[in-house]
Structures are given as C-alpha cells and as structure tokens.
Structure 1
C-alpha cells in the first residue's frame, strides 16, 4: 500500500521479494482494522456497520420470543456494540459527521427493536434503556485508553508535560505538550486527539 494524499499520485517504485513483485493495493487489513492509502475510514466504518446490521437482525428475531428488555439490552451490549467500537482509539478522531451518524443510526435501530411500540424518540430510549450515545461512548473509551498509556510502558506514545520541556512552572505546566499540527489531518489523528482529551479531563 502506498500512502499518499495527492489527487494524481505518482506510481511508487516496484518492490520485489524473491523476484516476486509486490502488488500495490488501495487498502489492507491489519488485526481486523482496514487501513486505506488516503488514511480515511470509509471501508472500516462501512464494514462495521454491515456486520453490526447483521447482528441486529438476530436481535430482531429474539424480540419475537418476548425476551425482557433487560436481556435484549444485554445482548446488544455484548454482541452488537463491541463491533461498532473495535479499535476505536485509532479511528474515532478521524470520523466524518456522516460516518458518525451512520454508526449512531445502528444504535437507534437497536433501541427501536428493543422497545418496540413503546419507542418514543432516541433520547428517551437511551435514558430508558440506560445507554449513552455512541459518540459519547467513543470519547470515554478513547480517554480510558489515553489514561492507560500514561501508566504503561507505552507512556512515550504521548508527549511529556510542558514543564518537562520548558523547565518553568506555570498554571498550565502540568498539561501535556500538545504536538504542533500543520494540517487538519494530523490534528485529527490519534495522538494529538488523545493528548487533547487528557488535557481536557485530567490535567
């Protein structure tokens, strides 16, 4: 895969392993995560939505057996929602509004399925079923991951506190030094996003 953001990208030089030329592909799958050459998340989001949609069909079938709402919510939380949150710290900050809305619509479908005729709007359903929006969930999961980095062997993935760089103690010196971003693409990538979350909630 050749990562490039040009509209008309040049052809990369051929690479060979044991006289076999490697094929250039527009995307590849790494540990269940679809990485595109333009670093967008269309394939990943569409794949998650399709897989979760198939699971929602199972939820609809179980509803016909008159399972209690609590059991249906547990099934959704255990078997459907994890699909929509797989590897979320990697891609959440790069979602477009359309992609975020697509994922949220799947949870709305789940709420309508679980509540049936008593469904009276998404906000009411979330409160009644004890759920939060997927957007809120994703931010919480990313914050939890960022906090875990601070206390792990991967601490250097995040930037150091500002005081460690400047040597001065100021009101904000305890905050992490947010990486400078020349492009929105980098600004909305994982590390700057996780850094902002830590500074917003914990520092």
Structure 2
C-alpha cells in the first residue's frame, strides 16, 4: 500500500517521507496477516481502523480532567466571568475540535459527562446538582448542541451542493424541498456528517434556513443556548422549533 502511494507521489513530482508516514486501513473486518495500527494521529485527531473514537476520547479526557482540576483551583481566586473565559480556552476548544467527525459516535456520552463536570465548577455547583440552567445562564452550548450547531452550519454552508427530495422525483409533496437524507445500512455510516446535518437542517423553519450565513450562525447559537439539549434526539423531537422566528 505504501509502495503504491509512493509511486503516485513520485509520478506527480512529490516526495513521501517514510519516517514520518503512517498507513492505516479503515475497515470493519479483520485483515488477517495485514499489519494495521491501533490508531493514527492526524492533525490532533486520533483515528482507529474500525472507525471508533475510543482512543481520541481517552486523549481529550485526560486533558479535560487536568483542566477541570485547574478550573477548580481558579474558582477560589477569580470571578465567574474569568472562569468562563478559561472554560472556553481549556475545555470548549477540545470538545469543539473536529466534532463533525466524532460528535455522534458512542464516545459522545463520556464527552458530555466531562463537559458537565467542568460547567459545574464554573457555576460553583456540587457534582450532584442539576446543571441545565447553568448552561443557559453561562451561555455555554451543551456537547450535543455543539455537534448540532456544526452540522447545521455545514449544511447551510454547502446548501447549493446538497441534493433535495425534488431533485430525485417530480412529485409536489410537502417534503419536496427538504434535504435528501442519504440511505445508510450500517450504524457507522449513520454517524457520518451528511446523515445528521441533513436531518437537523430539515428540522429548521424556513425563516432560519434562508438567513444569510452570519445571521444563521448567531440565530442557531442563540436557539441552542436557550434550549439546552442534553441529546440530539431532543432537538429532532422539539416541535417548538418550527415556530421560532428568524
């Protein structure tokens, strides 16, 4: 495999540094005698051959736990506003990074648990107290809402290239103008960006869908902050969204 890649690079007048190059085969099957790494780090994202994200969440969990300890120490000597700023620099940046790739995988549960732990520190709550109102007061997106936000922004940014239902049939149905949600057979495929970004975008009222991108971003963020979704299904089942003005 590496030889083939090297041949392609050479044919295109590019050089591949073998000492800095790793190979990985993405598959859900056993490869027999073919050597495959447990994970490969690319641009700060730990990718596994079976498309799971356990290694990645372990990596950021270690960082978040250290940062929560730092926030707890800071909470005794700085204001809540300073703590909030520290949260965004230390915690939010980790949860936000490449979230479209891993935000709906099984590790999302642990990511949200770690986030709630951090938010309770910022809000001066103990570990048993509810933190829903703290998210709203501090204007912090829950981890599910971070994923929803980036999915919606992805769909809105690429709206001209996305297939709609009326592109594949001529029937004038009420769903004709909705984005076409791709058919998926495997759960792994359902965790992909196009599946969820299309489903989430279809949930929005036209008054928000048609906003210019800068206004779209601010409207979506305000909506998600007020709603405080603890899972993505709550967003899909929220009938009040349809009446939200743009």
TM-score of the superposed pair, with normalisation by structure 1: 0.77
Total equivalences in the alignment: 182
- Cα pair distance change 1:75/1:11, threshold 3 Å: same
1:72 and 2:83 equivalent?
A: yes
Deviation at 1:42, TM superposition (A): 0.8
The answer to whether residue 17 in structure 2 is matched with residue 9 in structure 1 is: no
Aligned equivalent of 2:3: none
Q: What is the CA–CA distance in structure 1 between the aligned matches of 2:126 and 2:41, rounded to whole Å? A: 41
Supply the distance in 1 between the matched residues of 2:156 and 2:205 (Cα, whole angstroms): 9
- Counterparts of 1:1-203 in structure 2, within 5 Å, are 1-6=24-29, 8-12=30-34, 24-65=36-77, 67-93=78-104, 95-96=105-106, 99-116=107-124, 120-150=129-159, 155=161, 158=162, 160-201=163-204
Aligned-residue Cα RMSD (Å) equals: 2.4
Superposed CA deviations along residues 56-91 of structure 1, whole A, max 9, x for unmatched, are 2222232232x1112211221233211112111121
Structure 2: give runs of 5+ residues left out of the alignment. Answer: 1-23, 207-246
Structure 1's 115 and 179: CA in aligned 2 closer, same or farther, altered over 3 A? closer
CA distance in 1, matches of 2:126, 2:183: 49
Q: SS of 2:124's equivalent?
A: helix
Give structure 1 stretches of 5+ with no counterpart. 13-22
Distance in 2 (CA, whole Å) between partners of 1:48 and 1:34 is 10
TM-score, reference length from structure 2? 0.65
Distance in 2 between residues matched to 1:185 and 1:117, nearest whole Å: 37
